[in-house]
Structure 1
Amino acid sequence: MRVLLKLVLDCDPDAAWRAIRSPAVFREVSSPLVQIESLAADGFPTVWEPGQHPVSMRGGGVIPMGKQIIRLNFETARHGSVRIVHDSGQGVTGAVSAVTLWDHRMAIAPDPAGTGKTLYRDQLIVKAGLLTPLAWYSLWAFWQWRGHKLQQLAPGWAYDPGTDELEETT
């Protein structure tokens, strides 16, 4: 089953791209519904890199949901104007291991209306055998929460310390 989001975020595409590649943003848009902790020896990186990232998840910060592998790669499409984060991870233990297919893609592109904002598209395809309808409904509700949080946070992503500070001093 598929969960979809299509939003216009109030920031430029470069700021949105930096944000969706940030484990800190990932954790922020997931909380307080799901608390996510890195299982890597060094914890979360500053910026997601391609590869596998083991995490543990707790519903509401207290209910163990299990361990999951986030498996990331990055893609571009349509002559480089669409950038995609693709997670093909899997649940390893606990309730999250009931999901047998996890195909999550987040796409960042310039708003086609020419506003300078970002067109954000998010697609999750999941399968969990007989539990798929329950998994879909839970993830659909969680995705609505994430979308709301993304829209709230996006205006704050526009600040680029390296570039914006130089513009202010010139």
Structure 2
Amino acid sequence: MKHRYTAAFLLSTMFTLPVYADCQREAIDHDISPQRLDEALHQLAQRSGCFIAIDPTLLADEQAPALNGTYRPEEALWELLKGSGWEGYPTDEGLEVSKREQAWVEARTQALRETVQARDSLSEDDRMAYFQELAALEQSVSELAREQGFISAGEHASFERRLNELAESLETDDQA
């Protein structure tokens, strides 16, 4: 009889405790040892209550540095992602790990490469200058992600401005 009550109590408490509480946005203490990135992110999710959107199989070979100190969830995420090339962002539901800004820059540079390639009116030197500029933009966004663990809105705007300038320059070159 005693075992039945104990079992009933344990079951009732298991179903009333959420897997993740609401994402706590305030800074909390972290003490995460260096380990696989997917495991470190799991610890961050448990500690902060923040759901982290990512396919953990993508991170299987990545290593996370130690994380010791007081951080808001997104700051902790950025610290764990530094050096990996992944980007971390806060979302309404919690946190996200992706390469969305790098993918956005790559898509824009690829479209511009195709435009450059199709422009018969460009000299080979001009064509190479465009290709070098586009490659430099791709390298820059990748380096920022690796250094910071995110791409800021200001950095996104800067990339967008430069890509728009290159597109306008191509239009001007085509009209000349």
TM-score tier (shorter): under 0.3
Higher relative contact order, structure no. (Cα contacts within 8 Å, ≥ 6 residues apart): 1
Rg bigger for which structure? 2
TM-score normalized by structure 2?
0.25
TM-score normalized by structure 1?
0.26
